[in-house]
Amino acid sequence: MAAEAQRVDLLIGLPTCNHARTIEAVTRAIVTGLTKYFPDVPSMLLNADCGSQDNTAQIWEQLLQEFPAPAVRGERVVHSEKMLKPFKALSDKCAAYRVILNHAQDLNVTACAIIDPEVSSFTPEWLEALIRPVYTQDYEYVAPLYRRHKFEGTITNNILYPLTRALYGKRIRQPTGGDFALSGKLAGQYLGKAAWQQNLSPQGIDLWMTTSAIAEGYRVCQTALGRKLQAAKAQPTDLPTMLAAVVGAAFSLMEEHQVTWLAVTKSEAVTTFGEQPGIDLESVQINVERMVKALRQGLRDLSSVWEIILSQETQADLLQLELQDQDEFRFPQELWVRVIYDFALAYHEQVLHRDHLLKSLTPLYLGRTASFILETQTSTPAQIEQNTERLCELFEVMKPYLAERWR
């Protein structure tokens, strides 16, 4: 049978961009995972490269030579002629995702996984944990559930998780994870979205995929992986830009799915495969004082902007934060929920340029993060999760505050 006519059931996509340091280890882990856990399943590895300027492409080419067809065809794992060469000069991560989804649709695969190529802790078991629910249990979207340090993922913990949970009613703990799996059917549905012609941000595309799957009623679950260790980015994104991108994606999705989320009144747990990962507590030096100073500077410099965005009650309560001593500083959870809902409403009503609006959230986010650190500095993992759970419950209880004003 010609290679072109051979069936491909699993597609594993790597959206690479200057990942020379990690591409080899991640690729070897994927091939080992396919060999060990899916030995009789015809599979394809696809490197959708965004225009790497380092040696990513050359390392990939060498890896292809190392996995010759006779060696891997015996177990029908990865056909070397189907381990495609990198795509050159794709504009960004979103374009790479689209290439991967197009291949999933064209090949009519059963399951597709998109793997973050900079995760140095990726293992063969992670691949199996992501793919298995789609391949054998008819789930259509699998989100990752990583083990994190208590001060990691503060944008997720304080904004994205509680907001998406309250809006769409599913408790996907880490909706922006960079490793996930989906069905071939869902890949085709994603490709039909108008969002590709709009301004999807590389920082927001994972949230877009998770939220779209939930809001449109696909069978979603999450799977425990482990500690996510990433190579340091050569050019890290500055906080205001990253915050604006991911929160802007969340607010944009509210516009797209408003009929759905306005009808949701409570949240429910989703199926979780594997044991719930714990929280790491090792000591980390964080400059809380600088965060609080950034909030207070914002209260002075951005008051005229926040007057347009925030309700009078929210503004008055924020001013009270100025009166707190450094060691006693607390940004109440209830106040934080009102801040996020006020920003969502202002974004919806387009009361000012959306990029300016989103970036003005940064000092408030830093203040809330400082408060979380002070609240949990002596807490156990269980107490930290309880803290997050209380915040999520407040987002749900206070949702009418948002919904009534949105209408």
Question: How far is residue 14's CA from residue 47's CA, in Å, rounded to a whole number?
Answer: 5
Question: Does 311 fall in a domain?
Answer: yes
Q: Is residue 104 part of a domain?
A: yes
Per-residue pLDDT at 286 exceeds 90 = no
Q: Considering the domain boundaries, does residue 82 fall inside one?
A: yes
Average confidence (pLDDT) over 169-178: 94
Boundary of a domain, candidates 278, 302, 318: 278
Q: What is the DSSP letter of 3?
A: G
Over residues 177-233, the pLDDT tens digits come to 889 999 999 999 999 988 887 777 888 999 999 999 999 999 999 999 989 887 765
Residue 326 to residue 373: CA distance in whole angstroms: 13
Which of 244, 278, 312 terminates a domain? The answer is 278
223 is a domain residue: yes
Q: Are 205 and 93 in contact (CB under 8 A)?
A: yes
Residues 213 and 327 in one domain: no
Structure token digits, residue 96 = 């790479």
Both 86 and 126 in one domain: the answer is: yes
Has residue 283 been placed in a domain? no
214 and 334 housed in the same domain: no
**Can you give the pLDDT at residue 48?**
86
Residues 234, 127 within the same domain: yes
Is the residue at 261 inside a domain? yes
pLDDT digits (tens, 9 = 90+) for 250-279: 999 999 999 999 999 999 999 999 987 777
3-state secondary structure of 13: strand
Across residues 291-299, what is the average pLDDT? 95
pLDDT at position 269 is 97
Residues 56 and 183 in one domain: yes
What pLDDT is recorded for position 236? Answer: 57
Residue the block writes with tokens 């006693």 = 328
- In this prediction, residues 389-393 reach a mean pLDDT of 97
Question: What pLDDT is attached to residue 203?
Answer: 85
Q: pLDDT at position 315, please?
A: 96
3-class state of residue 144 by DSSP: strand
Range of the domain at 46: 3-278
Residue 276 pLDDT: 79
Q: In residues, how long is the chain? A: 407
What is the average pLDDT across 29-51? 88
Block residue for tokens 């909030």: 295
- pLDDT tens-digit profile of 18-28? 888 888 999 99
Are 201 and 250 in a shared domain? Answer: yes
Share of the chain above pLDDT 70, in %: 90
- For residue 58, tell me if it sits in a domain: yes
Percent of all residues in the chain with a pLDDT value above 90, rounded to a whole number: 62
Query: What mean pLDDT do residues 347-362 have?
Result: 96
**What is the pTM (predicted TM-score) of this model?**
0.91
pLDDT at 90: 57
Sign, CA dihedral 99-101-105-110, equals: positive
97 and 223 together in one domain: yes
Q: What is the CATH number of the domain that holds 143?
A: 3.90.550.10
What DSSP element (H or E) covers 220? strand 220-227
Task: Give the end of a domain, one of 251, 278, 305.
Answer: 278
- Domain count of the chain? 2
In a domain, 216, yes or no: yes
- How many Å apart are CA 137 and CA 269, to the nearest integer? 18
**pLDDT band, residue 289 (cuts 50/70/90):** very high
44-71, pLDDT tens digit by residue?
A: 888 888 777 888 878 887 887 776 543 3
Single-letter amino acid code for the residue at 215: A
Q: Does one domain contain both 216 and 149?
A: yes
Sign of the CA dihedral running 275, 276, 281, 282:
positive
Output the average pLDDT for the chain: 88
| 142-146, 259-263, 283-287: least confidently modelled range | 283-287
- Tell me: do 260 and 337 sit in the same domain: no
- Residue 283's pLDDT band, with cuts at 50, 70 and 90, is low
Confidence (pLDDT) at 82: 41
Tell whether 64 and 140 lie within a shared domain. Answer: yes
Bridge partners, residue 114, by sequence = 13, 180
Residues 35 and 132 both lie in one domain: yes
Reduced 3-state DSSP string for 30-52: HHHHHHHHCCCCCEEEEEEECCC
Position 61 scores a pLDDT of 78
Would you say residue 4 has pLDDT above 70?
no
**If you average pLDDT over residues 144-169, what whole number do you get?**
93
Are residue 401 and residue 253 in the same domain, yes or no?
Answer: no
Average pLDDT estimate for 130-143: 97
- 73-108 pLDDT per residue, tens: 222 234 433 444 445 445 678 888 998 999 999 999
